[in-house]
Structure 1
Amino acid sequence: MPTGLVALLDDISVIARAAASSLDDVGVAAAKAGSKAAGVVIDDAAVTPSYVTDFTPDRELPVILRIARGSLFNKLVILLPAALALSALLPAAITPLLMLGGLFLCFEGAEKLIEKFGAEKIGETLEDAPTDVVAFENERVSGAIRTDMILSAEIMAIALAEVSNEGLVQQGIILAVVGIAITVAVYGTVGLIVKMDDIGLHLSTKASSLAKATGRLLLRAMPILLILLATVGTAAMLWVGGGIILHGLEELGVHGPADIAHVAQYAVETSTGPLGGVLGWLTYAVLSAVVGLFLGAIVAAVVHAVAKVRGKH
């Protein structure tokens, strides 16, 4: 019996070490895959506050929580199985589907600019005094979750590309880890950003002069930061959407548009010294945004024309 028990314990220890090693491998792969998607993650964090800025303070965190739940549903229930199925059965369809998602982002960004610069407003804001606040909130949340679907699809696709050599089960575990970690990081950060004014107000009531000064600084800075984030969020829709389409065309063998952007990026990088990396990336982002705005404006024009025709019937 003692010998059998020792052998059993030895087997258990071997299994435990193998499991620990497997978990370690998953962690490393998930970290690598998540880092590759960092650019889209930043864009996701920039886009989301634009959906929350019109709400009263008591609804900000509940709205963010609803969007975060929708984002998890997008990643784990819709995109994860779809990504694994496409990876196993129809990998060639991934790029065209991502390009459609990129086109939707371009459309969303163009709509926001059309609304901002004098065209007829699309939807309601709280300044418009919506007659049904619940319906307004539901519409905003639905819009944020739709946009998150595209950004999440890009994140999952990038992560999938990094673990394509792993087995199907391993891929699923890694993508789930990446999806959960990124959702917590993005919406935790967004929640902190939109509540910074409340934190500032709380600090301004403290006895400490440092706390008071910090609180006043946060209160002054937050309106500017929220406007900046809303602007960056719109720009992010355009540059991410345009970038997805440029990259997709390149993957499909149409290299011309992406080559022009890459040549411009390289020219800036090699001529601007220490700032070359940042300015080169900015050049590519601006060109992607121009492509995104052009395509988004076309889609918006078509959508509005169809809506007007349907409205006449």
Structure 2
Amino acid sequence: MASGLLALLDDIAALVKVSAATLDDVPAQVAKTTGKVSGIVIDDTAVTPKYVVGLDPSRELSIIYQIAKKSLINKVLLLSPAALLLGFFAPWAITPILMMGGAYLCYEGYEKVHSMFSKHEEDAHGADEVKVITPEELEKERVQGAVRTDMILSSEIVAITYSTVADSALTNQIVVMFSVAVFITVAVYGFVGLVVKADDIGVHLAKEKQHPQVRKMGRGIVTFMPHFLKILGYVGTAAMLWVGAEIIAHGIPFTSHALHDLEHALANIPALAWLAKAVACGIGGLALGAVIDQIVRLVRRFIKG
């Protein structure tokens, strides 16, 4: 009896050691995954501030919180379990789903680039009848729009996260995916909250009661933030095209090998290798987005008859 109990305790101890060793890899896997989804994270960060533009400043943080809460719920309770189930029952479907998401990112990125050079179209749309809604309805509409966009980007984040831990133990998969979901959501929306309130912080620092150097810094923040938001928008658009094209490229053997060969050719200069890959993916994403845009236009014309 005693020997049997000791053997059982030895087995439990060995299992605990294996589990501990596996969980020791979690921080490294979280860091690796976060690096892989950095482009999507940048885009998510760049896109979100626009949803509070024109709304009551006192509601800005509340709106960001609503979006962040729904984003976390989607990642933890919907998307992560779906990815785990899909990985178990139909792992072959993950790459096509990723590629469809990548195509959508390219399409959205192209639309943003196109809108930058089509101001006349925006002016024409401005002549259309404007729908009058209450501030509460506008806030609800903005939150819903932000959550829809976040859902797509979160799907890509979760799918990429799963792809990095697909060969790990189930416990490891769950812990890493949960950790990435929480970390990225807190980081993105914490930064977005800081960005949207930066003007208020600048105004507070610029008050007469503050030290002259502090007032100068406050005025600098107020002056700089519009330019920063514009730059952030450009970076987000570039990240959309780059990430979308890279996701698709990795799903096609020919293009995946081409990217690998490009990186290998410039391996002695890592920064140049990364830049060349990003530029190649960005151009490819823009071209693919243009093709998808034309297909969408044709389908819309066909539906309208």
Per the TM superposition, whether the score is higher than 0.5 is: yes
Distance, in Å, in 1 between the alignment partners of 2:263 and 2:25 is 31
| Greater mean deviation of Cα atoms: 172-181 or 226-235 | 172-181
Change (3 A) 1:304 1:39: same
Contact 1:45 1:189 survives alignment (8 Å): no
Q: CA deviation at 1:136?
A: 5.1
Could you tell me how far apart the structure 2 residues matched to 1:260 and 1:172 are?
Answer: 33
Aligned to 2:151: 149
Offset at residue 92 of structure 1 (A): 1.3
Question: Residue 37 of structure 2 contacts residue 160 of structure 2 at CA under 8 Å; is this kept in 1?
Answer: no
Q: Give unpaired runs (5+ residues) of structure 2.
A: 1-8
Shift in Å, 1:224: 0.7
CA RMSD of aligned residues (A): 3.1
> Which AA in structure 2 matches 1:213?
K
Percent identity of paired positions between Structure 1 and Structure 2: 39
Matched with 1:55 is 54
CA contact (8 A) 2:49 2:195 kept: no
Partner in structure 2 of residue 99 of structure 1: 99
Question: What CA distance in whole angstroms lies between the structure 2 residues aligned with 1:28 and 1:309?
Answer: 52
Shift of 1:290: 1.3
- Is the 1:105–1:237 Cα contact (8 Å) retained in structure 2? yes
Aligned partner of 2:229 in structure 1 is 226
Distance in 1 of aligned mates of 2:61 and 2:164: 33
The equivalences for 1:137-176 within 5 A come to 137-176=139-178
Q: Mapping of 1:1-313 within 5 angstroms?
A: 26=23, 28-53=25-50, 54-56=53-55, 57-118=57-118, 120-121=121-122, 131-132=132-133, 137-205=139-207, 206-249=209-252, 254-255=253-254, 257-270=255-268, 276-311=269-304
Q: Write the distance in 1 (CA, Å) between the matches of 2:213 and 2:191.
A: 24
Shift of residue 84 of structure 1?
0.9
Higher mean C-alpha deviation, range 92-101 or range 58-67: 58-67
TM-score using structure 1 length = 0.78
Could you tell me which amino acid in structure 2 is paired with residue 305 of structure 1? L
Show CA shifts across 1:147-169 (max 9, x none): 33333233323332343344334
Change beyond 3 A, Cα 1:230–1:244: same
